[in-house]
Amino acid sequence: MIRRGLRRVAAILVVLIAGTAAVSAVLGALAGKSVVHSLAIGYYVVGAAVLVGSFVLGLRGPVRSEPVDDTPGQPAAGIPPARGVFLRRTIRRTTPDERSTARRDSLALFVLGMLLVAIGAMIDPTRRVF
């Protein structure tokens, strides 16, 4: 089971890194810029977007909303429904497992974002790492 999970993570990393490289190289070539510099900027941009996603995921509060089942004859779940934009929703507290999963996911996105920014810094021709 762990091997399958590691295989999936590796596949996601390869697709993300290769996809970023492909899109950045094409956009850099179309703009007439250096391909290496375009790759670095692409990794910076995608890394920053992943870091923002990590930040947003980490800031989710301790409550979640769920749609209300409006079938007649069904009593409410004990929590008064709140008006959503389009649907009625109830609010519930998160379970400890949900909070733990959110922390782990946020941490994983943070590490991935930092990895992408580090790759961009290593290949950026305008910066010297050492």
Output the pLDDT for position 39: 94
Output the pLDDT for position 72: 53
Amino acid sitting at position 96 = P
Output the pLDDT for position 80: 55
Residues in the chain: 130
- Which residues are within 8 A (CB) of 76 and not within 5 positions of it... i.e. 6 or more apart? 68, 90
Residue 81 has pLDDT above 90, yes or no: no
Q: What is the pLDDT of residues 23-42, one digit of tens each?
A: 999 999 999 999 999 999 99
- Which residues are within 8 A (CB) of 84 and not within 5 positions of it... i.e. 6 or more apart? 65
Residue 79 has pLDDT above 90, yes or no: no
Query: Is 91 in a helix, a strand, or coil?
Result: strand
Q: What is the pLDDT of residues 94-130, one digit of tens each?
A: 888 988 888 999 999 999 999 999 999 999 988 876 6
Residue 45 has pLDDT above 80, yes or no: yes
Task: Confirm if 120 and 44 have CB atoms less than 8 A apart.
Answer: yes
Output the pLDDT for position 93: 87
